[in-house]
Amino acid sequence: MKQFLDFQYFQVIVKAGSIRKAAETLSITSTALNRRILAMEEELGEKLFERQASGVRLSAAGELFLDHVQKQIADIDRVKSQISDLSGIRRGHINIACSQALLTSFFPQQIAHFRRQHPAVTFSLYLRDRKAAEATLLDNSVDLAIVFEPVYMNELQILISKEQQLYAIMPSGHELAAKKQLRLSECSAYPLALPTSEYGVRQILDFKANRSMLDMHPAVESDSFEFLRNHVINEGSITFQIEVGLPTILKELGLVAIPLSKADMAAGSMYLIQKKNRILPSAAARFAEQLIKTLSQ
């Protein structure tokens, strides 16, 4: 698998933007790493990198070669997983990108459930916003992604979509806490703790506020949903989250979650996606089946 190792080295250099930095990551000398790149360039008959004082960047030939390398590495991972299946031992490693709402409860539960049945399977979970999650699918850095209100791209395949109602989260002693459902206008009369504009939750809120001419200036805003929940606990303000992102320990935190009326505010959608036409490794495909089953319920 010497060629496969060269492919991995090439990818590390691309990400680092420097042969020296890549060599430090790989724990080899920059001279040895540079020799391997020169050997690949000699075999291909083209320069893969443009050498600059600040580092290296891909040449036109390097861009084409990177696409080939990513496909080869993905194919090797798939074959390795299939070979493991032949022995009756489901092994493998699953890479997932997801939005922040899924980190606290949904994925910890789903991964634990899967590993009880397949303990030899390991996971890497990456927090990515919508655009970044889709980009990691396209370069084969991850196998699956779940995002709320994704930016549609033709290169992606939707495995399942699930409507997600928005909930207002507030202290259990809040004036609105006894209501069974809320309108956004009711919430806007109180201090708000809102996610920043790159998140689908905020975009849905802003769309409704602009259409209804509501004053939605937040008391605080953050790209951390955990911070927003803790701010609510400390100040008694209101924040918002989709259903799947609601913590299972709301009661212990002294918080309540009240749905926003669907008549007042349209629900968004969450999508499980993969790269189109990519054959997933066996472990990732099996985990995708579990997620589809869970979300369809």
- pLDDT tens, residue by residue, 183-196: 999 999 999 999 99
Contacts for 83 with CB less than 8 Å, ≥ 6 apart: none
Cα 268 from Cα 73, distance rounded (Å): 35
Q: How confident is the model at residue 148 (pLDDT cuts 50, 70, 90)?
A: confident
CATH number (domain holding residue 43): 1.10.10.10
pTM: 0.65
pLDDT at 204: 87
268-275 sheet: strands from edge to edge:
121-127, 92-98, 144-148, 268-275, 156-164
Rounded to an integer, the average pLDDT of 17-29 is 89
Tens of pLDDT along 209-227?
888 888 888 999 998 988 9
* Distance, CA of 202 to CA of 128 (rounded, Å): 16
Alpha-carbon gap, residue 37 to 49, rounded angstroms: 9
Let me know whether 173 and 259 are in one domain: yes
Which letter does DSSP use for residue 53 in this model?
T
Same domain for 130 and 55? no
Give the pair of three-digit tokens for residue 274: 């993969």
Query: Range of 149's domain?
Result: 90-162+270-296
Work out the percent of the chain whose per-residue pLDDT is above 70. Answer: 94
Q: Residue 124 is inside which H or E element, if any? A: strand 121-127
> Rounded CA gap, 94 and 38, in Å?
33
Same domain, 95 and 154: yes
- Tell me, yes or no, whether 287 and 261 share the same domain: no
Question: So what's the pLDDT on residue 199?
Answer: 82
